[in-house]
């Protein structure tokens, strides 16, 4: 660690010396800066992270013009919000701050940077009406989507004491994904162990959504000292899904020959299936608050309530299978395996595929509520020269989750044979995964539902599988986090500091179901088979957990001179398990021979963060920044996978989130933004280059003695944008590269899973037709590279290939 920081500091020092950062001798005392207003901001931020608001547009578009910014959280007036940034007009915002490190007045789970918005009271805004009309083309399925946004609001009376805003958004979106997933294992073939593909599936996922959002706010200025505000947001999403799938199950047969690119299998299976469902997602958010502010004290309270109800009334899954097929696969191109029948079986003949199982789900509900109460007090302009402030407060947040799953699973048909030909999809999906595959014969969800309705008494209902799926996926969970904080800020000449502390008390409880399965020793079904696995009962389980944490924080900035500033921070943060993750649920996927479980013993992950940066302004528009960071992580969470050795699920792959030992994450981030000024280039060109280097290390329980990277964190990321801006035109070309990252740690290196490196190119263009009318074009993923390529062990063993393809959005932004 010391070596890393020493080398990094040497690099920074060398750059600064060559660029002239230290305008004065280090041995002499730097001269005082010109007198300036004392900084009363509640954060210490870098100038390079400032966001320029696009006056005639939204906050969302303004932030999208800075793809170099790193943040994982968005707060509006100090609280998280479900409000779309695209629906917030830029001129309704007082400030946008990008924070690299959390301050004590923010939740301790605000990690990896945050964007904090502070809105203007609407009674301080001019009354305006703005809108956006947009069309989007997606190359994945050739579909067109549309979105309309309208915002009206501002000062409502001449006295300027009332203000309000109304936002309306409507979107119809079509979305399609092509997906390949493969599984691998070791088999002994001709007396030699070999890696073989046990399964390959090709899937197309369709989604159509109709979304409405209605939001409003009302502000009242009661006096020069007191103001009140209220806002509400309602969102409705209606979605329809259809997902046909073709699946080759080589592992069901016997491998007769294997080499590095080919394998032949006797007695394999081929499955053709489809899922179809719709859901309705309703979200309501309401908030009220008030502010008292005089020359010395600022007090603010907020009450926020959020409720989301996701209702899925008609999930339907239908599977057909052809067993005993001889297959071979070819991995000459490892990203696109080619499978053929070697025994003459026509794999497109729907009449050869017989009914395997079906889930006619009656209901699935997911209901969440979130209630937040906060009080913040700030004593400002402290000291003889108004150098500082003190701020403190408390927050209480209560969340609860109710999940209900009501399945009906059938796995047999008593009458004449039920085949795919009886419910064949009338259309055909010819081109999947960039034209590499065709799905051929697939089931129709509508025909499958009608067939069940017409032959309801002829199917075998599986009580065992129904209760196994439904009971264990129905549960209640709640989480309460109560917090207190205090922070102190002081500024003396070139120094600015924030010192603070936060304490959070967490309580989690759940009520779930434990499904008991085992051998039918009492022959409950009277079939004489005492060894078959049957449903034995469901036992309610309850549990809870409480813990408290202290989070000290320290931030410091030193303004060396007018060009160079130094920023450092020491913070502590937390990542709690999702309160639904600690419920001891069990999801069984019999098609994939997989089991996933919740873990009631899962502990939160604690982070101790050290950040240091040097920001150097070569000129007004030419800035260079170096950031160094180190995170010490305790109880890191990872996805543990193992094989069930006994019981009803013997041989299944068990997936469960577990806590690991400590980990270290350290690295550097280099940013350079500057104009491009050459006689042969037009005025208004600039670039922004951003490079992030990560060096991580931890020891996983299943691999003692080995120090491996932390999962889901690439070794390096690079972004560069080329910008052109004139009086009427803005153009931005962005290139991004993300290196390989570790996703899952196996029992040995050959079972480790990785996310492949990825390159992206995006283009943004806008043109001001006239003062209140602007045309824009947004193109994404112009290289049309896959969005996700995952492999196991080495790149020849693909486990996932997913591609969203390129897309283009275009439209108008206007003000009436």
DSSP-assigned letter for residue 581? T
pLDDT of residue 27: 35
pLDDT of residue 84: 66
Measured between alpha carbons, how far is 689 from 671 in angstroms, rounded to an integer?
6
The whole-number mean pLDDT for each consecutive block of 10 residues of the chain, a chain of 816 residues, reads 39 38 35 43 77 74 78 73 70 79 86 78 92 93 93 94 95 93 92 93 94 95 96 95 95 94 96 95 95 94 96 95 96 94 94 95 95 96 83 96 95 87 85 86 95 93 90 93 96 92 96 83 70 82 93 94 93 88 81 82 93 91 93 88 79 84 92 88 91 93 89 94 94 96 90 94 95 94 90 94 91 93
pLDDT of residue 809: 96
Measured between alpha carbons, how far is 340 from 327 in angstroms, rounded to an integer?
6
Q: Which helix (H) or strand (E) holds 674?
A: strand 663-675
Of the candidates 717, 726, 730, the one whose C-alpha atom is nearest the C-alpha of residue 689 is 717
Measured between alpha carbons, how far is 515 from 584 in angstroms, rounded to an integer?
11
Contact predicate 675/685, CB 8 Å: yes
Say whether pTM exceeds 0.75: yes
3-state helix, strand, coil in the chain (%, to 5): 10, 60, 30
Contact predicate 793/750, CB 8 Å: yes
Contact predicate 63/33, CB 8 Å: no
Here the tokens at position 294 are: 């005089």
CA distances (Å), origin 291, targets 78, 222, 299, 690: 13, 10, 6, 39
Residues 264-278, buried b or exposed e (16+ Cβ, 10 A)?
bbeebbbbbbbbbbe
Measured between alpha carbons, how far is 403 from 640 in angstroms, rounded to an integer?
25
Here the tokens at position 380 are: 């400002």
Q: Which helix (H) or strand (E) holds 675?
A: strand 663-675
pLDDT of residue 40: 56
Measured between alpha carbons, how far is 107 from 114 in angstroms, rounded to an integer?
11
Contact predicate 99/45, CB 8 Å: yes
Measured between alpha carbons, how far is 42 from 29 in angstroms, rounded to an integer?
29
The radius of gyration of the chain's CA atoms, rounded to the nearest angstrom, is 30
Here the tokens at position 250 are: 């080589």
């Amino acid at each position: 660690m010391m070596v890393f920081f020493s080398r990094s500091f040497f690099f920074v020092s060398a750059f600064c010396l060559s660029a002239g950062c230290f305008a004065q001798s280090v041995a002499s005392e730097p001269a005082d800066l010109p007198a300036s207003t004392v900084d009363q901001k509640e954060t210490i931020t870098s100038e390079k992270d400032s966001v320029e608001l696009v006056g005639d547009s939204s906050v969302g578009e303004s932030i999208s013009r800075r793809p170099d910014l790193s943040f994982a959280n968005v707060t509006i007036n100090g609280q998280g919000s479900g409000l779309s940034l695209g629906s917030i007009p830029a001129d309704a915002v007082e400030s946008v701050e990008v924070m690299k490190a959390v301050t004590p007045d923010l939740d301790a789970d605000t990690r990896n940077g945050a964007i904090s918005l502070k809105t203007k009271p609407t009674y301080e805004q001019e009354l305006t009406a703005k809108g956006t009309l947009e069309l989007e083309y997606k190359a994945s399925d050739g579909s067109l989507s549309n979105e309309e946004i309208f915002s009206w609001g501002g000062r409502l009376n001449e006295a300027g004491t009332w203000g309000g805003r109304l936002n309306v958004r409507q979107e119809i979106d079509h979305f399609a994904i092509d997906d390949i997933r493969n599984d691998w294992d070791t088999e002994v073939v001709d007396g030699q162990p070999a890696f073989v593909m046990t399964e390959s599936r090709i899937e197309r996922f369709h989604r159509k959504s109709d979304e409405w959002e209605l939001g409003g706010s009302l502000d009242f200025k009661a006096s020069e000292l007191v103001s009140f505000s209220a806002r509400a947001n309602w969102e409705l999403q209606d979605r329809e899904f259809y997902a046909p799938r073709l699946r080759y199950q080589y592992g069901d047969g016997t491998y007769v020959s294997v080499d590095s690119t080919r394998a032949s299998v006797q007695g394999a299976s081929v499955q053709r299936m489809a899922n179809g469902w719709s859901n309705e997602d309703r979200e309501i958010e309401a908030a009220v608050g008030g502010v008292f502010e005089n020359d010395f004290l600022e007090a603010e309270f907020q009450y926020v309530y959020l409720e989301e109800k996701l209702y899925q009334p008609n999930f339907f899954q239908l599977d057909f299978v052809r067993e005993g097929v001889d297959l071979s696969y070819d991995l000459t191109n490892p990203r696109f395996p080619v499978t053929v029948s070697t025994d003459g079986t026509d794999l497109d003949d729907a009449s050869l595929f017989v009914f395997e199982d079906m889930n006619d789900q009656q209901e699935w509900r997911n209901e969440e509520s979130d209630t937040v109460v906060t009080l913040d007090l700030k004593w400002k302009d402290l000291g003889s020269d108004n150098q500082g402030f003190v701020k403190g407060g408390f927050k209480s947040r209560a969340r609860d989750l109710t999940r209900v799953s009501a399945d009906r699973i059938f796995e047999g048909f008593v009458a004449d044979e039920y085949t795919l030909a009886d419910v064949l999809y009338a259309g055909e999906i010819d081109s999947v995964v960039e034209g590499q595959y065709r799905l051929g014969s697939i089931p129709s969800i509508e025909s499958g539902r009608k067939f069940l309705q017409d032959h309801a008494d002829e199917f075998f209902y599986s009580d065992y599988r129904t209760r196994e799926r439904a009971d264990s996926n129905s549960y209640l969970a709640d989480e309460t986090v109560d917090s207190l904080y205090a922070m102190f800020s002081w500024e003396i000449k070139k120094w600015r500091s924030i010192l603070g502390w936060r304490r959070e008390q967490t309580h989690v409880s759940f009520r779930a179901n434990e499904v008991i399965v085992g051998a039918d020793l009492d022959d409950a079904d009277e079939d004489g088979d005492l060894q078959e696995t049957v449903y034995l009962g469901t036992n309610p389980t309850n549990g809870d957990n409480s813990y408290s944490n202290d989070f000290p924080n320290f931030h410091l900035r030193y303004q060396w001179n007018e060009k160079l500033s130094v920023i450092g921070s020491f913070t502590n943060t937390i990542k709690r398990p999702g309160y639904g993750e600690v419920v001891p649920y069990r999801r069984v996927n019999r098609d994939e021979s997989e089991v996933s479980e919740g873990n009631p013993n899962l502990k939160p992950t604690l982070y101790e963060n050290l950040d240091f940066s040097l920001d150097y302004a070569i000129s007004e528009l030419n800035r260079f920044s170096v950031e160094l960071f180190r995170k010490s992580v305790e109880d890191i969470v990872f996805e543990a996978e193992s094989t069930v050795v006994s019981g009803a699920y013997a041989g299944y792959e068990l997936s469960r989130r577990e806590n690991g030992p400590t980990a270290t994450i350290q690295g550097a981030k280099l940013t350079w933004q500057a104009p491009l000024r050459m006689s042969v280039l037009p005025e208004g060109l600039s670039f922004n280059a951003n490079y992030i280097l990560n060096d991580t290390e931890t020891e996983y329980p299943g691999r003692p003695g080995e120090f491996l990277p932390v999962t889901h964190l690439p070794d390096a990321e690079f972004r560069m944008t080329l910008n052109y801006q004139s009086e009427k035109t803005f153009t931005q070309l962005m290139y991004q590269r993300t290196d390989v990252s570790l996703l899952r740690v196996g029992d040995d290196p050959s079972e480790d899973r990785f996310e492949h490196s990825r390159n992206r190119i995006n283009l943004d263009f806008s043109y001001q037709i006239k003062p209140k009318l602007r045309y824009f074009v947004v193109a994404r993923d112009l290289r049309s590279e896959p969005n996700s390529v995952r492999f196991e062990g080495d790149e020849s063993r693909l486990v996932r290939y997913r591609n969203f393809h390129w897309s283009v959005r275009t439209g108008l932004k206007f003000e009436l």
